[in-house]
Amino acid sequence: MPEWKHEIRRRLAELKLHPTREAAIVEEVEQHLADYYAEMLAGGATEAEAYRRSLDELQNSEELWRELRREQNSETVIPESTQRRNVIANLWQDVRFGSRMLVKQPGFTLIAVITLALGIGANTAIFSVIYAVLLRPLPYPAADRLVLLTTTGTNSDLPTYVSYPDYVDWRDRTHSFDDTACFVDDVFNVTGIESAVAVDGRRVSSNFFQMLGVKPQVGRLFAPSDDQAGAVPTATISDALWHEKFGGDNAVIGKTITLDGSLFTVIGVLPPGFQLDRHDDVFVPLGLWFVPGHNLLRRDNQSSHALARLKAGVTLKQARAELAVVAAQLEHEYPQTNRGRSASAEKLSDLLVKDVRPVLLVLLTAVGCVLLIACMNVTNLMLVRAAGRETELSVRLALGARTGRIIQQMLTESMLIAALGGLAGLLLGAWAIKSLSRLIPGTLVQLDQVKLNIPVLLFALGISALTGLLFGLLPALRTARTNPNVSLKQGGRAIGRSGWARARKSLLVAEVSLALVLLVGAGLMLRTLQQLTRVNPGFDAANLLTLRFQLPNNVYDNERRLAFFRECRTRLEALPGVRSASFVMSLPLQGASWNVPFMVADRAAPASDAIPHAAFIPISANFFATMAIPLRAGRAFSEAEMNDTPAVTVINESLARRLWPGQNAIGKRLRQGGADSKAAWREVIGVVADVKLDGLEQEAPLQAYLPLALHNSGTVKLVVRTDGEPLALSMSVEQTIHSLDKDLTVETHSMDELLGNAMARQRLTLTLLAILAVLALSLAGIGIYGVMSYAVTECRQELGIRLALGATLRDVLLLVLVQGMKPTLIGIGLGSVAAFAATRLLRGLLYGVAPTDPLTFAGVAVLLSGVALVACWVPARRATKVDPLVALRYE
Amino acid sequence: MTHIVSRMFDRELKKGSAELLVLSLVEARPRHGYEISKLIEARSNGAVKFNIGSLYPLLYRLERRGWIQGRWVEKAGQRRRRYYRLTAAGKKMLASHRSTWESFVAAINRITEPEQA
């Protein structure tokens, strides 16, 4: 076959066309001449004749050169509509081409899609929780203007607990709110239905539901006339209770139910899913309790909550300033109760997520890291693939393919992979969301809102597109920068020295860094949980059963209640397997129920805003023995002292240290209340060890134990020390209680369960972080293995040369291992620096361990190095098996 | 006689109809340059011929205008070839050319019909 290119180029030379354009024309015209030549030969012409006639075709090509010259000089613009259509046509072509390439390489496609699916799935699942908790707008009208009014200052308990009279004054004397409502948390014994049940409920002012934009699904909600003392007692119930106990029948309207022994008429059913911060089953009007002298109406009783909506245009700052002014007025008007007490407001949306926001932010960071690692793995795969196509792409570039077109084609391929990965990730995410719902305690997050909804789907779509761009851009740009001259001439590559290898190693470093950050986070949470389990709660939690129930105030007066306590204890302690039983007003880890100021005898009264507060806890005489709380000095209560004559108290060691440091506290006296309190002075007869009343991470508060006769609340807690597994006796204990009053609904837990719940947040964070860390570690390990494996294959020639020149197998092994461990160690170094900064996010969740704990960092570094070593080992072993002769021949 | 006729066609009518010829041939399916030139020659029974000098300038002109689009296609066992296909704008232009050509031919026919005695 004659060579035409030279002839064609000669004629094109003077036109000085762009090299790629010239190459394309030369190829096309050469092809035409070759076909013409072949046709001549087939028609019977001799080779010389066919050659002559083909050359004639070329001679008569003046018009072609004129046209090309015109093309050089012209500035003809392709119409935009044509350009647009061409773009779409190109895109479709790329999609078809890309799909064919992916199908041709099923192994690569599968690994890439699975890797991405893991990253996208994890992110989708965590985002669904974040959306449900942090991002979803609260389902109440003008929710961003809803606030809770709070008390602040030294003379206040928990901020969101306010006293009703204070609430009324704030409401009446301020102009910042267009609506306010008050509510009190409660627990009701619901009887008069097929099976009695104790439910969470609230006493609410009549405008509570209207403020939250709630409409009943059946019946009606409270009117102002229902919300007064003396009104016919009415109640509204939740959708869940309606279905569970009333079969979802509309006839429930007008039925009466018994709440804590009193009759209430059901007037309405709330819509499904309604809740404010927690799920309540029963609501009753608050005003029913407003008889003169009722506890709730006392200014020193801070047991209500106040909800308010800011007027349009009023800022939180302005409202707070106004509340502070009113609080100052009340301080002046009611110095006994309000001295040292100020008022403020907090956004409802902030308060609702306060506990869980730190956990979610940590998890978001963690899944982000996992996704980045997954992207980097896929980028590495794409780089390997692009390196393998380098020759083909170089030829295309040399023949005139536009760089932009090649980049577009490669990006289309990566977007296809991202789309497949996104789809698989969505399925994985949906499964993960279901599992998450089982893992997360319902107390932390409203679980029915954690689902695959439109925002979550859009998020999955968004990160799929983003990952496609991320992992596709580097290989595409890298390819477009290929210098065809260089790559077409280059033969085998030296290990680790080609531009491709550098890019892959950099990605490795980044992967290892991210994996380290995640592992350190998980490690710190593990240490936290370890520390928490080691915390001495102040008592022996083993074989301890706890029970909670209501003795309704309208059925049990003080006498009857004390009689119940006595009889119940006697019957319980007679049960086989029960060592002792005790009543107490506040269970450990659940917070104190009775926090009040107190005075110390023989000491000048402190300024009213510096009066100390302590948790006062009425108990049975044998409480310390039942709980195995060590006695530090003096003695415990005797049975005779249970009727509070004489007035005595047992205090905890923190209180003793605080009030009488270095002295013997026995015989000293204190009393509840402020400077002019009429309460009796109590003599300290014993000092016991501190008990973690407010939670494992909190310091034990100041505690003073009182005789049981002072237990004035309807809610009763009972602790039972058993011989064996405590829950095994729960049925007989409950039966014993029911033998005294069958209408009581008892909630039973072992103390171990309560301890476990106290660590719920940390345990959840650890579980999820650990899963993500293991995922990150696996992905990083696979990444290292993949890169080193390919590096060994790529550099067979060099390895063969080394072996041929006398390198030992050990030398080759070390060479590969060092090449693999170098980026790992750099990654560990960089990752440690990043982790130093990142672990600050965990600060609120850690206990007993610093965010920069050296033991954790060191341990993780060793673990990562170990995994990297293992990942490099297999390719290193393979390198030692290279046959020098084969490798040297291989091109 | 055929020789003289074909040269007449080459110079005069080819100029006016060249674009129509090429566009209509790539309407059915994409074709490469050599195929287009052979088809024109075959279907016109040798009356119309396009060589390199006349075909490729036309193809490049049509491509520059966006009426056809060329792309390299590699088939198994063959060298790659540049195939040209009709674009959407080209379709419109083809329809317009056809209509113009038909009107022109009809007008010429009306003029050159033998007069009725």
Concatenating the DSSP letter of every residue in A421-481 gives HHHHHHHHHHHHHHHHHHHS-TTTS-GGG-S--HHHHHHHHHHHHHHHHHHHHHHHHHHHT
Check A68 against B57: CB less than 8 A apart. yes
CA distances from residue A865 to A300, A469, A684, A719 in whole angstroms, order as listed: 61, 31, 60, 50
Look at residue A4 in the predicted model and tell me its pLDDT. Answer: 86
Which residues face A617 on adjacent strands? A705
Q: Which of A32, A58, A62 sits opposite B33 (nearest CB)?
A: A32
B43 part of contact set with chain A, CB < 8 Å:
no
- The answer for residues whose C-beta is within 8 angstroms of residue A51's C-beta and 6 or more apart is A2, A37
Q: Is A145 exposed, middle or buried (0-12, 13-18, 19+ CB in 10 A)?
A: buried
CA distance A57 to chain B (A): 6
Look at residue B2 in the predicted model and tell me its pLDDT. Answer: 44
Closest residue in chain B to residue A25, using alpha carbons only? B56
* Nearest in space to A179 (alpha carbons), one of A139, A209, A200: A209
Q: DSSP state, A608?
A: T
* Nearest in space to A344 (alpha carbons), one of A176, A139, A186: A176
CA distances from residue A235 to A251, A266, A279, A290, A882 in whole angstroms, order as listed: 15, 5, 16, 16, 83
Check A31 against B88: CB less than 8 A apart. no
Closest residue in chain A to residue B62, using alpha carbons only? A78
- In a 3-state reduction of DSSP, which class is residue A616? strand
- Contacts with B89 from chain A: Cβ below 8 Å: 79, 81-82, 85
Question: Please, are residues A684 and A651 in contact by the beta-carbon 8 Å criterion?
Answer: yes
Check A31 against B79: CB less than 8 A apart. yes
Check A79 against B32: CB less than 8 A apart. no
Question: How crowded is residue A438: how many other Cβ atoms within 10 Å of its Cβ?
Answer: 7
Which residues face B86 on adjacent strands? B68
Look at residue A423 in the predicted model and tell me its pLDDT. Answer: 94
Structure tokens at A141: 């009208």
Look at residue A550 in the predicted model and tell me its pLDDT. Answer: 83
DSSP strand E in A229-304: where?
A: 234-237, 256-259, 262-269, 282-285
Look at residue A156 in the predicted model and tell me its pLDDT. Answer: 59
Rg of chain A taking only CA atoms, in angstroms: 39
DSSP strand E in A297-441: where?
A: 305-310, 341-347
Question: Please, are residues A615 and A702 in contact by the beta-carbon 8 Å criterion?
Answer: yes
What whole-number distance in Å separates Cα of residue A839 and Cα of residue A524?
Answer: 9
Check A60 against B52: CB less than 8 A apart. yes
What whole-number distance in Å separates Cα of residue A207 and Cα of residue A286?
Answer: 11
- Contacts with A63 from chain B: Cβ below 8 Å: 53-54, 57
What whole-number distance in Å separates Cα of residue A43 and Cα of residue B38?
Answer: 14
From the centroid of its chain, how far is CA A407? 38
pTM metric for this prediction:
0.70
Q: DSSP state, A258?
A: E
- Contacts with B80 from chain A: Cβ below 8 Å: 27
Among chain A, residues having any CB pair with chain B shorter than 8 Å are: 24-25, 27-29, 31-33, 35-36, 57-58, 60-64, 66-68, 71, 74, 76, 78-79, 81-83, 85-86, 89, 93, 399
Handedness of CA A782, A784, A787, A788 (dihedral sign): negative
What whole-number distance in Å separates Cα of residue A638 and Cα of residue A186?
Answer: 33
Which positions of chain A have pLDDT values less than 70?
74-83, 154-157, 392, 394-401, 442-445, 482-498, 608-609, 887, 889-891
Look at residue B116 in the predicted model and tell me its pLDDT. Answer: 60
Half-sphere exposure of A238 (CA within 13 A, CB side): 17
Look at residue A235 in the predicted model and tell me its pLDDT. Answer: 96
What whole-number distance in Å separates Cα of residue A419 and Cα of residue A884?
Answer: 43
What whole-number distance in Å separates Cα of residue A276 and Cα of residue A272?
Answer: 13
Q: Does the pLDDT of residue B1 top 50, yes or no?
A: no
Closest residue in chain A to residue B33, using alpha carbons only? A32
Question: Please, are residues B58 and B42 in contact by the beta-carbon 8 Å criterion?
Answer: no
Q: Which of B32, B79, B87 sits opposite A82 (nearest CB)?
A: B87
* Nearest in space to A509 (alpha carbons), one of A832, A883, A726: A832
B32 part of contact set with chain A, CB < 8 Å:
yes
What whole-number distance in Å separates Cα of residue A800 and Cα of residue A887?
Answer: 5
Angle made by CA atoms A253, A259, A264, in degrees to the nearest 5 = 35
B65 part of contact set with chain A, CB < 8 Å:
yes
**For strand A613-619 and strand A669-672, is the pairing parallel, antiparallel, or unpaired?**
unpaired
CA distance B20 to chain A (A): 19
CA distance A444 to chain B (A): 60
B87 part of contact set with chain A, CB < 8 Å:
yes
The string of pLDDT tens digits covering residues B5-47 is: 445 445 555 566 788 899 999 999 999 999 999 999 998 888 8
Question: Please, are residues A880 and A872 in contact by the beta-carbon 8 Å criterion?
Answer: no
What whole-number distance in Å separates Cα of residue A524 and Cα of residue A841?
Answer: 12
